[in-house]
């Protein structure tokens, strides 16, 4: 199938397919005599793997490691689990960071009267860089 068909089938854009090929996540596609890319069923399977990995929030570097582990039939599942656990740790760190941001902003909103007066704790905090609120 051509790049447009592969993109539609995989749920990725043609631009992403070309990018994944350029960074080595996807092997160079076979080419027709006229230079058009052609993708095999194996390529589509690999693209589905990449897409699902990205949907779960794995970085491109982590996806590369996962692909290597996926292709290595001698690998230990503990290697895959360790990578996934590291990703969970990073997700938990980001969740905690976002929760902290939400809580801080909620506190500022709760202290803002939201009326016709110009006094605004939200702007005051932004102005101070958060050091004096």
* Residue 65 maps to a domain: no
Is there a single domain that holds both residue 11 and residue 52?
A: yes
15: CATH: 1.10.1660.10
* Residue 63 maps to a domain: no
pTM of the model: 0.81
Q: What is the pLDDT of residues 33-69, one digit of tens each?
A: 888 999 999 999 999 999 999 999 999 999 999 999 9
Is there a single domain that holds both residue 80 and residue 132?
A: yes
Q: What HEC string does the chain produce? A: CEHHHHHHHHCCCHHHHHHHHHCCCCCCCEECCCCCEECCHHHHHHHHHHHHHHHCCCCHHHHHHHHHHHHCCCCCHHHHHHHHHHHHHHHHHHHHHHHHHHHHHHHHHHHCCCCCCCCCHHHHHHHHCCCCC
Is there a single domain that holds both residue 80 and residue 129?
A: yes
Is there a single domain that holds both residue 48 and residue 91?
A: no
Q: What is the pLDDT of residues 77-98, one digit of tens each?
A: 999 999 999 999 999 999 999 9
The number of distinct structural domains making up the chain is: 2
Q: Which domain holds residue 22?
A: 1-56
Higher-confidence position of 16 and 133: 16
Is there a single domain that holds both residue 46 and residue 7?
A: yes
């Amino acid at each position: 199938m051509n790049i447009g068909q592969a993109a539609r089938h995989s749920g990725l854009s043609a631009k992403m397919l070309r990018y994944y090929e350029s960074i080595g996540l996807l092997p160079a596609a076979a080419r027709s005599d006229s230079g058009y890319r052609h993708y095999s069923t194996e390529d589509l399977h690999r693209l589905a793997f990449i897409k699902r990995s990205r949907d779960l929030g794995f970085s491109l570097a982590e996806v590369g490691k996962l692909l290597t582990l996926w292709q290595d039939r001698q690998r230990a599942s503990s290697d895959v689990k360790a990578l996934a656990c590291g990703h969970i740790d990073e997700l938990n760190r980001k969740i905690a960071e976002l929760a902290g941001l939400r809580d801080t902003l909620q506190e500022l909103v709760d202290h803002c009267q939201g009326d016709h007066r110009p006094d605004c704790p939200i702007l005051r905090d932004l102005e101070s860089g958060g050091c004096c609120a």
